Each structure stands twice: as C-alpha cells, then as structure tokens.
Amino acid sequence: MLIGSDSFIARYFAAEKGAGYEIRGASLAPSRLGNELVMDDLFKLSAADFEGVSSAVNFAAIVHRPEISDPDIYDRVNCQLPLHLARVAADGGVDHFIQMSTIAVYGGADRISPSTPAVPESPYGSSKLKADLELLKMRRDDFRIALLRPSMVYGGGASPGNMMRLIGLCDRPVPLPFRGVDNWRQFAYAGLVADALDRIIEKRVDGIFLLADRRPVSTEELVGIIRSKLGKSQMQFRLPALARRFIQRARPSLYRRLFGSLLIDSDRTYRQLGLKERKGDLEKGIAEMVECYRLL
C-alpha cells in the first residue's frame, strides 16, 4: 500500500518497481495507479483498507510549502496522520510500516551520520521528527518500522524542491556567483530512493536509514552540469568574500543552500540494504529534470 500515491516519489517508485509487487494506493488525488482509493481525508483510512497488505509506505506529507507556517497544520499532516496510519495498518494486519522521513530533522547540520543529534529548525523538520520518534515507539516483533531519510531528491522528472528552482535560475542569461565555491553537497537520485525502498520492503528491515548519492558535488560543478544540459554557456564568476559574508549573516538559510556543504554518511544504509554505487546518476538526473523543465 502506497499512501500518498499521488506524490512524486510514490509515482516514481510505482513506475520503476511496481512490476514486482501487487500495489494498492491511497491518495487525495488520482495518480493513474489503477488500484487506488481517492478520498478527501487520509484520516478516513481504516484497518479494513489494509486487509491483505504486508507492507505500507507513507509518502503523505506537507513538503516544499513555504507559504504554510502554522505548526498545527504540519503537526496534523506530518505527525498525527502517520501515527493514525500506522495504528490502523497494524490493526489491519500489516507487519511492516515504512515512513518517508527527511534529513530536515537534523536542522542546519552540514555533516550527517547515524550519530548526529536531530535538532530541526523548521515546523516541517520538527513535525517529521516528532512522527519518527512516536513511530519508533510502536515497533514490535510483529510490526516493524523503517524510516527512510534521503537527502534532497532529484531526477526522474519534475522533482519538487530547490533543484528545479536552480535549473530555472541557470536558464537565465546572467552570470552566477559560484566560481571557486569550495563546498560539497550530496543529493539523492530518485532511482536510488526507489532502489532503497525496494530493498527495505524486500528485506523487511526496520530502523533509520540515511540515504544519499555516493558522489558529492560542488555548487560550481552542479551549475556547470545544469547549464551544459540546458545548452547554455557557463557564465560563473567569483563572489568577493565580503559579499559572501554579508549573505551568510543576512540570509543564513539561503547561504547554506547555495554555498554551504552537506555530507551524509549513508555507508550503513548501503551495507544493510546491499545498495551499490550508481555511477552517472547526477548527469542523468539533471538531464531528466531539464527535459521536464522545458515542457513546463
């Protein structure tokens, strides 16, 4: 059962891995999955809807919605809903519940490992962490809980989030201030996320799984790849240190996204799930997103 089956990652997973499963869906909008419950409130899902389901994956969440600032809304959708879903799934006979979590639970940390303390800095991250902690309390021998915390997902089409915004920025005929930026960031290709979910379901594992591409990339290199796929010239310049310090003080979150590093230690996840390094995903994923961007 894919809950929130109209979401980007759920649709991608169903398209890439669906042949190996009998899949049901539950969503607020149709996703062309076929066997799908479409309802106006996912809190209406009951134990009867999960009869015959062995694994349930919850994709439903408020993500990439900066216009929503009310913490109560985040709490209802990102925390209370997954707890309700886990309870009714267990009552319906499901013995494996997978929650799509996020690295936002670690706040502004630039190096994330299994031992990094979770200190979220946003209503989104706080609500997801609260759900994760409560879900882990529900683990039993006959009800396993897996939390997947991927880095920012890209590729596979019009992935939501900041990568598509960066593509739009790179499409403008203006020089960008990223030459010589000495940072390293790891993202997560949509195909890698689908592989990880597939292995979590197949191996029926539980626990917390950090996930990112093996290959880190600097902002300068990322912009270069995007502009190359767009058929644009590089047009990057070196921003003076004083200007960078001003941005860091005035807009710290923007500075972290553009100039900061984000390295994720997902070695344990690769070992536990038997994942292999996927070469060429960055260029492939950017090309897929640029193709969709041109259709928008």
CA distance 247 to 231: 29
Length of the chain: 296
Question: pTM above 0.75?
Answer: yes
pLDDT of residue 162: 86
What does the pLDDT average to over 17-45?
A: 92
Sorted by where each begins, the domain ranges of the chain are 1-150
Choosing among 3.40.50.620, 3.90.1150.10, 3.40.50.720, 3.40.50.300, the CATH entry for 1-150 is 3.40.50.720
CA distance 92 to 85: 10
pLDDT of residue 186: 97
pLDDT digits (tens, 9 = 90+) for 49-67: 999 999 999 999 998 677 7
> Tokens 């919850």 identify what position?
58
CA distance 189 to 179: 24
What does the pLDDT average to over 104-109?
A: 94
pLDDT of residue 293: 93
What does the pLDDT average to over 17-32?
A: 92
- String of b and e for 28-53 (b: at least 16 CB within 10 Å)? eeebebeebbeeeebeebeeebbeeb
CA distance 85 to 57: 10
pLDDT digits (tens, 9 = 90+) for 212-228: 999 999 999 999 999 99
CA distance 191 to 184: 21
Q: For residues 144 and 95, is the Cβ–Cβ distance under 8 A?
A: yes
> Tokens 């941005």 identify what position?
247
Q: Whole-number mean pLDDT of the chain? A: 94
CA distance 61 to 127: 10
Phi first, then psi: what are they for 176, rounded to 5°?
A: -115, 145
How open is the CA angle 213-159-157, to the nearest 5 degrees?
A: 95
pLDDT digits (tens, 9 = 90+) for 122-176: 999 999 999 999 999 999 999 999 999 999 999 998 888 789 999 999 999 999 9
Share of the chain above pLDDT 90, in %: 88
How open is the CA angle 160-6-170, to the nearest 5 degrees?
A: 15
- The first and second tokens of residue 116, run together, are 């990094």
- Give the 3-state DSSP-derived string for the chain, with helices as H, strands as E and coil as C: CEECCCCHHHHHHHHHHHHHCCCCEEECCCCCCCCEEECCCHHHCCHHHHCCCCEEEECCCCCCCCCCCCHHHHHHHHHHHHHHHHHHHHHCCCCEEEEECCHHHHCCCCEECCCCCCCCCCHHHHHHHHHHHHHHHCCECCEEEEEEEECCEECCCCCCCHHHHHHHHHCCCCCECCCCCCCCECCEEHHHHHHHHHHHHHHCCCEEEEECCCCCECHHHHHHHHHHHHCCCCCECCCCHHHHHHHHHHCHHHHHHHHCCEEECCHHHHHHHCCCCCCCHHHHHHHHHHHHHHHC
Structure confidence at residue 190 as a pLDDT band (50, 70, 90): very high
